[in-house]
Amino acid sequence: MQGSAVSDVSTRLEGFSDFARATMAAWKVPGLAVAAVKDGAVIFSQGFGLRDVNGGPEVTSQTLFAIGSCTKAFTAMGLAILADEGKLDWDTPVRTYLPAFRMHDHGATP
């Protein structure tokens, strides 16, 4: 990023670190990492807190977290955006969009 763009991002994110720490305390979150991406480029990346509830190393922008089942929520959000844009319909069978889709139980495949 060029100098003025960096200072613009810094100005717009002023106070974010305090907000992140206060939110972590309120929700009792030991650590988190945040990244903001604009036009395919990372414009902000920072770690907060500790990697473990028992202490340990600090979270950095490179810390990897196990996100478990959160990907289901991300997928549902992505589908909701597509539905909102009229690119898919919730009531249309999935195989309309993904003809190769098959369930392990063939009787459950729509």
pLDDT at 59 (0 to 100): 96
Q: Which residues are within 8 A (CB) of 93 and not within 5 positions of it... i.e. 6 or more apart?
A: 110
**pTM check: above 0.75:** no
Section 85-106 average pLDDT? 90
Q: What is the pLDDT of residues 15-38, one digit of tens each?
A: 999 999 999 999 999 999 999 888
Point out the residues that are catalytic.
Answer: 69
Euclidean distance between the first and the last CA atom of the chain, given in angstroms as a whole number: 48
Query: Where do the domains of the chain lie?
Result: 1-64, 66-110
| Measured distance CA(48)–CA(24) in Å, rounded | 9
Q: What average pLDDT does the segment 46-61 reach? A: 92
Q: Give the Cβ contact number of residue 31 at 10 Å.
A: 19
CA pair distance 110, 106, nearest whole angstrom: 9
